[in-house]
Amino acid sequence: MNIKKRFSNFARYVAHVSGQPYAFVLACMIVFVWLVVGPFFSFSDTWQLVINTGTTIVTFLMVFLIQNTQNRDGEAIQIKLDELIRAHQGAHNAFLDLEELTEEQLCQIKKKYEKLARKARGELKQGKEDTEANEV
């Protein structure tokens, strides 16, 4: 098994486990224990450094793991949406890679859809149906 596959599996597992209520409870317990032992260390700089260092390290590592998981999930969702567009008769195949367009191009397409939506809402108020696939 290559390193990318291992990392993906590990990232998926860690993201899943860290999103569980038990992980939050564990984090709260660690903070609670840290607070309780504070008086024994006279709330020293070292005592503060322990929690600061620990949270910084965990946050730093979690950013990469969660980003990996979100990237994969986003790609999978995009592929599924692309397949739905591709398979649906009357859908615009030109929309298969919208995520690759510039902000300006997306704004132009959005404006066209906003115009269609306004028109459709007006027609709904008149009792007409809202099911036709208009050209964009």
pLDDT of residue 132: 62
The C-alpha atoms of residue 113 and residue 115 are separated, in whole angstroms, by 5
Q: How far is CA 7 from the centre of its chain?
A: 19
The C-alpha atoms of residue 48 and residue 65 are separated, in whole angstroms, by 26
Tokens of 2: 């290559």
Mean pLDDT, the chain, integer: 90
pLDDT 10s digit of each residue in the chain, 136 long? 699 899 989 998 998 999 999 999 999 999 999 999 999 999 999 999 999 999 999 999 999 999 999 999 999 999 999 999 889 888 888 888 888 899 999 999 999 999 989 988 998 888 887 766 555 4
The C-alpha atoms of residue 38 and residue 45 are separated, in whole angstroms, by 10
Tokens of 6: 């291992």
Per-residue pLDDT of 106-126, as tens digits, reads: 999 999 999 989 988 998 888
- Residue showing tokens 């007409």: 128
Using alpha carbons only, what angle is made at residue 59 by residues 53 and 10, rounded to the nearest 5 degrees? Answer: 125
pTM of the model: 0.64
Tokens of 73: 């999930």
